[in-house]
């Protein structure tokens, strides 16, 4: 692009897995363009470190999940009881709905 001062910028910032856009309007001077590009690039090392930390945390969580995968569910008996209670509640609700429908027909 050309600005009225004759500045022309052709810039491309390609990064894998991350979106980054650096605005370079044609009114920006060459020094301003360099400053914006430097600012956009200066934190790459910090980003890499944050991604490494997230990866390490994710690996720790995965190891924890895999360790628990083969074990028995600690609340299996309680879950079975809650499911039985839920089935009773649903059955009672269904009979209430059927009963109120019959009462409406009789009226």
pLDDT at 26: 73
Note down the domain range covering 92.
Answer: 73-107
**Residue ranges of the chain whose pLDDT lies below 50:** 1
Q: Is residue 83 part of a domain?
A: yes
Q: Is residue 11 part of a domain?
A: no
pLDDT at 103: 62
pLDDT at 91: 95
Q: Is residue 13 part of a domain?
A: no
pLDDT in tens, 79-100: 999 999 999 999 999 988 877 7
pLDDT at 59: 97
**Count of structural domains within the chain:** 1
Q: What angle do CA 70, 64, 59 make, to 5 degrees?
A: 125
Q: Is residue 41 part of a domain?
A: no
DSSP 56-73: HHHHHHHHHHHHHHTSPP
- Using CA of residue 98, residue 100, residue 101, residue 106, what is the dihedral sign? positive
Buried/exposed code over 82-102 (b: 16+ C-beta within 10 A; e: otherwise)? eeeeeeeeeeeeeeeeeeeee
Whole-structure pTM value: 0.44
pLDDT at 3: 52
Q: Is residue 88 part of a domain?
A: yes
pLDDT at 102: 63
Tokens of 16: 């894998």
Using alpha carbons, list the distances in angstroms from residue 53 to 18, 24, 46, 47, 56. Answer: 17, 32, 11, 10, 5
Phi, psi of 62 (to 5 degrees): -60, -45
Q: Is residue 29 part of a domain?
A: no
pLDDT at 104: 56
The three-class DSSP label of residue 60 is helix
Q: Is residue 6 part of a domain?
A: no
Q: Is residue 15 part of a domain?
A: no
């Amino acid at each position: 692009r050309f600005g009225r001062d004759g500045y022309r910028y052709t810039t491309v910032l390609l990064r894998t897995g991350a979106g980054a856009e650096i605005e370079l309007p044609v009114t920006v001077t060459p020094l301003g363009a360099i400053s914006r590009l430097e600012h956009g690039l200066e934190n790459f090392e910090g980003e890499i470190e944050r991604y490494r930390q997230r990866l390490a945390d994710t690996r720790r969580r995965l190891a924890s999940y895999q360790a628990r995968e083969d074990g028995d569910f600690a609340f299996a008996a309680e879950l079975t009881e809650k499911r039985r209670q839920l089935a009773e509640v649903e059955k009672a609700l269904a009979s209430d709905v059927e009963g109120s429908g019959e009462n409406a027909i009789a009226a």
